[in-house]
Every structure is written in C-alpha cells, then in structure tokens.
Amino acid sequence: MSSLEQLYQQVILDHSRMRHGSGPVEGVQSSSHQVNPTCGDEVTLGVSLAEDGHIDHLVWDGDGCSISQASLSILSDLTEGKSATEVSRLYAAMETMMHSRNQGVDDEVLDLLGDGAALEGTSQFANRVKCALLGWYALRDALAKLGTDIAGEGQ
C-alpha cells in the first residue's frame, strides 16, 4: 500500500471515529432520512439556513460503515457556513469523484473536496459509492424541502 493510500485510509478512519457534525437532529428547518438498502447504512440529516441562504446549522445522526460515517463527517466540515452555490459545487465535485470508478479526476475537484478526496479510492466499488453519497443525498433532499436545489442544472 502506498503512503498516499495509507494517509487516505487514516483520514477515513479518523473521520468515522470523530464524526464531526454528529448529534441529535433537533431544532432544524428541514431534515431528511436516507437508507442504503444494500448495506443498511442510514442517516437523518438536518439543516437550517440563515436569511442569506448560507448553511447556518447542519447536524446528522446515523449508523453505518466507516465510509458512510466518514463521508458525513467530511460533508459537515465542508458545508459549514457555505452558500447554496458553494454547496452545489461541492455536491457536483463529490458526485464526479464518486462516479469516476477510480479512473482519476481533476486536481481541482480533489482540492475542492479537501479530506473528501480520501474517498476517491472507494469509487471503484459500486456498493461503496452509495455509502459515500448517502449523506450528500440527504443534504440535497433536506435543502430541496427548503426550496434550494443544489443538484439543479446550471449550478
């Protein structure tokens, strides 16, 4: 295993243990519960927006594999205080990376995703792609309920 693969594995393990943003999903404007029927991972993610549309509060509670838990922790770090436009770019970058089948993506995508780049290697396993994207789909759904489309065309 290369030193980069070891580093990425450690980032995933650290985030799955520390679980940034994890807590009771209470006092939020919108929430979404998502389940990955393939493996049983599940998450309830709640979000509140400030008047200017920035993410004011994001919290999640869930159970699952280290990939899903790490991805949720990374999502929490990446989206905190971000505008809908910024979150839309992050969402698109994550989808691009996770659908790359580990064939590589532009460095710009990896740079934008920060610690999320550690999940790139999981894109070669179709069943793990669902794990990594579960929280992102919950965020998309919760924001859509508030009238904010982060997956819309032209974003």
Q: For residue 62, give both structure tokens.
A: 């869930």
What CA–CA distance (Å, rounded) separates 110 from 40?
28
pLDDT digits (tens, 9 = 90+) for 78-130: 999 999 999 999 999 999 999 999 899 999 999 999 999 999 999 999 889 99
Supply the pLDDT for residue 3: 66
65 touches 77 (CB < 8 A): no
Banded pLDDT at 155 (limits 50, 70, 90): very low
Supply the pLDDT for residue 1: 65
What CA–CA distance (Å, rounded) separates 86 from 83?
5
| Domain 3-145 -> CATH class | alpha beta
Q: Which residues contact 142 (CB under 8 A, 6 or more apart)?
A: 28, 30, 31, 32, 45, 46, 47
pTM: 0.93
- Mean pLDDT computed over every residue of the chain: 93
Q: For residue 75, give both structure tokens.
A: 């999502």
Name the β-bridge partners of 33: 44
What CA–CA distance (Å, rounded) separates 112 from 126?
23
